[in-house]
Chain A
Amino acid sequence: MTMARPALAATPDDPEVPDEALLVLYANGDPGAARALSLRLVPRALGYATRLLGGDRAEAEDVVQEAMLRLWRMAPDWRTGEARVATWVYRVVTNLCTDRRRARVRRRADALDDAPEVADGTPGAEGRLIAAQRVAALHAALAELPDRQRQAVVLRHIEGLSNPEIAAVLDLGVEAVESLTARGKRALSAILAGQRDALGWTDGGGDDG
């Protein structure tokens, strides 16, 4: 049969069911909706929060739990069609991270000692080390950017959102987002300029180490 199934007749695990439909299912008491929605949103929110918080994974997990808690709490009042669920979560994570950065004592993680866990599939111990060092260096450099530039750069270049989506998350115009990402990239280049050799680039650009 080639007929499209109506969303609500599908199971919550069906990737074609929109986030919003899962949220409505959750609010209606569906037992599987929360898990399906969490499997989609938590990894993205965690990645984003980790970048915003300079690689602090534990704090990022706290932020994500809080953001998801707010999502569950407002689910019954969700107004369909007004915003995308993922956008809403990104926005809450953005605000929570900003609050945390302001609240905590400014502690600059010694980035290169604090090599984060690297996903499986990177070949070779040396390659893994270099990748970990690069990620740590990027986190440290991101931490030096102004909040808005950091948020825009991470959403654009790591999370892969479009400029209009970023504008919705940050509550800005699209032109402001373009300006923020351009300035953020220039600033990152300047901050990282002295670390090319240490991060495994031997000559030219684009060497994967």
Chain B
Amino acid sequence: MTDDDLDDLFAAARADAARPSDGLMARVLADADALQPQRRAPARPRFRLSALIAALGGMGAMAGLATATVAGLWIGLAPPAAVDDLAAAFWVAGDSLDLIPDLEGMMGDADG
């Protein structure tokens, strides 16, 4: 028996490829299925309105936010007298009053 003969034998063994039976593959996959850990939640959940509301503190907080928003809009459109007076205190005949005089220096040229 020469090395070539042995190589022939090995080649015959390789050609006699063990093709797994359907039954074996089915058993292996059934095991895999039974042992597979549950699928994790996706890393990035899709955006949901309910998630946003919950993040802001729930429906009670949302009601407060809505009230504040409407109030702000109303004050802007139809300012009550008290707001006018307050605004007049900071508004001097077309000139503006710097509440924080250094702001421009801090912000650079942000005001344009």
- Hey, which bits of chain A sit against chain B, CB under 8 A? 26-31, 34-35, 38, 42-43, 46-47, 50-51, 57, 60-61, 64-65, 68-69, 72-73, 75-76, 116-119, 121-122, 131-132, 134-135, 137-139, 157-158, 160, 185, 188-190, 192-193, 195-196, 199, 201, 205-208
Contacts and interface: CB of A to CB of B under 8 A. Distances in A.
Interface of B: 1-10, 12-21, 23-25, 27-29, 31-33, 35-40
B52 to A, nearest CB: 27
Given A34-B32, A72-B31, A119 B3 contact: no
A196 B27 contact: no
B31 A60 contact: no
Contacts of A207: 8
A57 B31 contact: no
Main secondary structure of the interface of A (DSSP, over half): helix
A131 B16 contact: yes
A38 B15 contact: no
A90 to B, nearest CB: 14
B13 A122 contact: no
A158 B31 CA distance: 28
Contact of A43 (B1, B4, B13, B20): B20
